[in-house]
Structure 1
Amino acid sequence: MTRFSFWRPALAAYFDSVKDREFAWGTHDCALFSAGGVEAMTGIDFAAGYRGRYSSLAGGLRLLRAEGFATHADLAAKHFAEIHPSQAQVGDIAAIRADDAGLYALGLVQGARILFLSVEGGIGSSDLLSAERAFRI
């Protein structure tokens, strides 16, 4: 997958366009937020087949598991090279542990931080050092 030559301003514009949107499973959750960032940088939506097809975490996981993925991080691994989080650069996807059951929250790397959607609303951030998985875009 190749990034546009203008991927940095496109990614910044994407962040600006979604910063005030409410979190909603299946339309604007952490995985789809990350996929939207990838689409802004590349023109390719790797999660297009999932948008609007679930309305809860359980529903999204059912869709993923029906296709052989344990988590949405595994879906990202199908499309992108997995790298050590210490190698992640701006625009790459990073996964942080969301719970003790092995689920991850996906976000987009911005320097030493990962931007992700907060279930409470808005864009939150986490230290890149908290990432357990990362994927090169």
Structure 2
Amino acid sequence: MSDRLPGWELRLAAAIDAARDQPFGWGVHDCAIWAFDLRRDLTGGDDVVALWRGRYRTARGAQRVMRRLGWSSLEAAGRDLLGDPLPSVHLAQRGDLVLADTGLGFGICLGARAAGIAPGKGPDDPGGLILVPMAACRLAWRV
């Protein structure tokens, strides 16, 4: 495990609580922004999200920004920013970053489940925090 700040568990719990009431928003409150901001808050690391925060407002815009940054996918972004993933997602621990193909995108391991931010499914669903089983995640990186 890399060096996490003292009290990281409380920071993780506070981030989950805060995300419960915040709707999804491309470029403001989406999977990558939330997960990488949380990684920064747990470790005191760099603000890599500054590369893309606020630079898009749609899924298509997010894809354009990723291409400009040299990433063909979320996986490519994860590998570039975080290095090689763990050999198995089953090795992920609470607070580690994960990548799922279930609409979650980037998220955070909470144990048996992962949390992340996903778009809603219609006009009455603004999206936001979702929980998925860790079995739905295909890659994980130690934080």
Length-normalised TM-score, structure 2: 0.84
Percent of aligned pairs with the same amino acid:
29
Q: Distance in 2 between matches of 1:122 and 1:86?
A: 25
CA RMSD of aligned residues (A): 1.7
Q: Distance in 1 between matches of 2:137 and 2:4?
A: 23
Runs of 4 or more, structure 1, over 3 Å off, are none
Q: Distance in 2 between matches of 1:98 and 1:14?
A: 21
Aligned residues: 133
Q: Distance in 1 between matches of 2:34 and 2:75?
A: 13
Shift of 1:57: 1.2
User: Aligned with 2:34: secondary structure?
Assistant: helix
- Which residue identity is paired with 1:42? T
Matched with 1:38 is 39
Q: Distance in 1 between matches of 2:31 and 2:112?
A: 19
User: Aligned with 1:91: secondary structure?
Assistant: coil
CA contact (8 A) 1:14 1:40 kept: no
Shift of 1:75: 1.5
Q: Distance in 1 between matches of 2:31 and 2:12?
A: 16
More strand by share: 1
- Which residue identity is paired with 2:90? S
Shift of 1:98: 4.1
Length-normalised TM-score, structure 1: 0.87
Structure 1 spans left out of the alignment, 5+ residues:
none
Matched with 1:109 is 109
